[in-house]
Structures are given as C-alpha cells and as structure tokens.
Amino acid sequence: MIRMSAVRHRYMTQTDYMSWRMEQDPILRSTIVAVALLDRSPDWTRFVDMMNRGTQHIPIFRHKVVTDPMSPAPPYWVTDPDFDLSWHLRRFTVPAPGGWDAVLDFARTTGMTAFDKDRPLWEFTVLSGLDSGQAALVMKVHHSLTDGVGGMQIAREIVDFTREGTTRAEPAPTAQPQEAEPGARSGLAWYRDTATNFARRASTAVARHSAELARHPAGALRNTATVLGSITRFTRPVVTTLSPVMTKRSTRRRFAVLDVPVEALGRAAALGEGSINDAFLASVLRGMARYHRLHGVDVPQLRLTLPISLRTADDSPGGNHITLARFGLPTDIGDPAELIRSVHATVDGWRNEPAVALSPTIAGALNLLPASTLGNMLKHVDFVASNVVGSPIPLFIAGSEVLRYYAFSPTLGSAFNVTLMSYTSQCCIGIDADTDAVPDLDALTACLADGFRDVLALCPDAQDVAATHA
C-alpha cells in the first residue's frame, strides 16, 4: 500500500511551483478534471466513508497551499485547520433527459472554475439521473496536487476492487507537514538550502566531469556539448504556432470523448513497430491532418507538448514528477505504419534527452523568469498529448462499477489537450479544447475519430471508434 506519511517538502517543488505560477495567466489554469461513468449511483454514506478514509491515507488531500507575500520562496503546504470533507463532496441530479452530454457540460464548466485556494485543491461531484440508472463522478484536482500517474496511484488507494467493498487497514497516524516560519527569513532559508543542495550536486558533477576530462578529454567535451545542446532544445522559445488554423487562445473550454479498443490499438502499434503511445500520437496526427484539410490548409507538421513521467517507485503519489518536452511531429505521412515508426523514433529520442534528468533544475531556472515568459512559450504550442496507464481490472466506488474513466488535462496554453487513459478493455480518450482555437469541436472530434480509424485499419477486424462531445 502506498502511504504518504508526510509531505516531503514543506515548500512546493520546482515543478509544482511552475504549474502554480502559470495561473497568473488564467488561460494557463492547471486544473485536471476526470470523469468516471458509473453503472449506478454510489451509496452516499459509503462514498463519504470511502473519501474520509482516503484523505487519511493520502493526507495531501487535507493540506492547503499558503503563499507568503513577504517571502521570496515558493508557496508551502500546511494542514488545513478548517478541513471540511463535506465541502469537497457534492451531489446533483442532472436534468432530463439525463444524457452523457450533460455530464460533459458540467465537467467542462467545473474545469473552467477557479479553485478556492484557501482550501485543499480538490472537489468530487456525483451526478445522478443518467440514462438507464447510470451516474457519473466528476473529479477536479489542481495539477500541483498530483500528475496523471500519481492520480491513478491515489485512485487505487481510495476505490474498491469489488462491488461489496475492499477491506483496508486503518490509516496509521501520519506526520504533519512542518509549518513554515512566515516572512522573508523563512524564504531566505529556503534559498540557502536549495542553493546548498544545488552546489552539492554541481560539485559532485564537476568532480566526476573533471576526472572524465583527465582520462578522456575529447569524449568529456563532447558529452558537455551534448548536455548543453539538450538543455537548449528543452528551453528554447517558441514564438509562433505551426498551425495556421488553431491560433487564438481563451479561457473557454469544451470537452469531448472517444472510445478506442485497447487490444486493437496495441496490435496496430505492434504492426507499426511502436508502442500504444506511438499509435495514439499517430492517430492524433492523422486526425489533425484531416482537420486542417477541412479548413483548406495542408500542414507538414505540428508542435506538441508531451509530458514525460519521471515518477519512480519510491515517489509519493502527490506532486508532479513530469517534464514537458515540446517538439514537432509530421502530419504528412500517409501510411499509418510508417507514421508510427516515425513517431516512435522522435519520441524515443526526446525521452532519452540528457536534459530529462535535469528537469527539476531546469524548472527552477524557468521559475526565476517572469511567468509571462513561460506562458508565451506554451501558448505557441499546437496541442498537448498525454498517455496514462489506468487500471486493467474493473474498479468500484461505493457499490457502483466504473464503466469508463476519462481524463481532461489542462491545455497549458495550447489549442487542445488530448489524454488517453487506458481502462480495462478501452482507451478512454478525453479532449479538452480551447473554444477560440477550436470553435468547431464536433468537427475536430470527428477528424480525430477518423485518425484512429486510419490506424486501426492496420487491423481489419478492429472495433469501431465511438465519439461524444458537449
């Protein structure tokens, strides 16, 4: 069992702080919304008990963020002395006819609403009254609380694995996060500790590099140049979109979903000598080529932001353990198998960039720049694509079975975010679109669905793709 016995840092990590600072521009609001479609309404008493136990197992759900205007350091986490579970849990009945589009409309509205930052940064809402007695659970969390992989780890700590329930040990007493001493004195101490740790890592690296330089001078210099080049590629400014169509940005959002069979997408990926993630990206690229042709434009490539997970088995489920790679991928390759191979080569290269291991340090450097600088870079990326491995077995919430599980991740200033969450036999794909960049979400969704059909055509017996938007 994963237990977050204490917040490891009283201050936000640099990667968490980056997502927090982005929100100085509301277009970059870092809210994650997930929607679980349930076969029935959960038992409310059981649901409240489940969440009460879960927030004790995962205490960061009882912590709030404190920003000290007198301190130059990042915000820090403290236990909310006024924590009220009932404020974070809501339930409503959707109006007749109770369709899925009502759930997506509620989800996109809650995703557009800012958090009360004087409370823990999450809200869960049960929506009853859907067709055939179904219900939905809409989960809203701030990105500084966790990332996609961490979110699934948290979910497995909270939900059940049978309809009757899952027996769990009572939560152990947990250490509270160390309260930060307010004021500039505390902030200077944070900078001192951060600088000391950085200097220690740097001196170790310099000593190692000096020894390597003495033994193999030419190779050491090449390695140094390689690392510096990698850092430059990760941090270089992006001043224009590659798409001539999806150029506007706003705070308005719409959501849509696609369902794609896991097994068929996996077979298509294998035929293209790639992974499911490669087939996923190839499908999106095929769809984007169609969408741009629909608008009378051919684009040879588009630029995406790809979150790369840095999470290890020793990391707590809270916080962000990702880095963001921004790079171009082709949209003009007609053969799906060839496109999968091309995507695989490019993505594999970025995953193995030397700068990936330096991501926390790079984030710290970027946090020294004005928030608008980072925002302007992100707003010129065309789209975000993320792939999260979900549960291969059914999950249950207070007596109700989860039928589908969709994630709508933030656009990070791009035109849209498309997130694949695998769940049992389906790839549940959530689309979060900026309505100024994509005013015709129905057309975009249809084009993406056709892109997946192009890739699944590598497997002639594959099931069709289902699409819904609201």
Mean pLDDT of all residues belonging to the chain: 83
Q: Are 243 and 427 in contact (CB under 8 A)?
A: no
For the record, the structure tokens of 303 come out as 């630029």
For the record, the structure tokens of 157 come out as 């700590």
Q: What is the pLDDT of residue 154?
A: 78
Place of tokens 């179904």: 134
Position 404 pLDDT exceeds 60 = yes
Confidence tier at 188 by pLDDT (50, 70, 90): low
Lowest pLDDT segment from 209-213, 236-240, 288-292, 388-392: 209-213
Q: What is the pLDDT of residue 180?
A: 47
Q: What is the pLDDT of residues 234-277, one digit of tens each?
A: 677 788 999 999 999 999 999 999 999 999 999 999 999 999 99
In 3D, which of 171, 77, 150, 139 has the Cα closest to residue 318? 150
Q: Whole-prediction pTM value?
A: 0.85
**Distance (Å) of CA 11 to CA 14, 45, 154, 189:** 9, 35, 21, 11
Q: What is the pLDDT of residues 89-115, one digit of tens each?
A: 999 999 888 789 999 999 999 999 999
Confidence tier at 184 by pLDDT (50, 70, 90): very low
Q: What is the pLDDT of residue 140?
A: 95
- Which residues 6+ apart lie within 8 Å of 88 measured at CB? 51, 119, 120, 122, 123, 124
Q: What is the pLDDT of residue 222?
A: 56
**Distance (Å) of CA 122 to CA 67, 222, 253:** 18, 47, 19
Q: Are 412 and 220 in contact (CB under 8 A)?
A: no
Q: What is the pLDDT of residues 407-454, one digit of tens each?
A: 999 999 999 999 999 999 999 999 999 999 999 999 999 999 999 999
Instruction: Determine the Cα–Cα distance for residues 172 and 184; give it in Å rounded to an integer.
Output: 35
**Does the CA dihedral 20-24-26-27 come out positive or negative?**
negative
Confidence tier at 60 by pLDDT (50, 70, 90): confident
Tell me whether residue 78 is exposed, middle or buried, using C-beta atoms within 10 angstroms of its C-beta: 0 to 12, 13 to 18, 19 or more.
middle
Q: What is the pLDDT of residues 344-364, one digit of tens each?
A: 999 998 888 777 777 777 776
Q: Are 137 and 103 in contact (CB under 8 A)?
A: no
Q: What is the pLDDT of residue 343?
A: 97
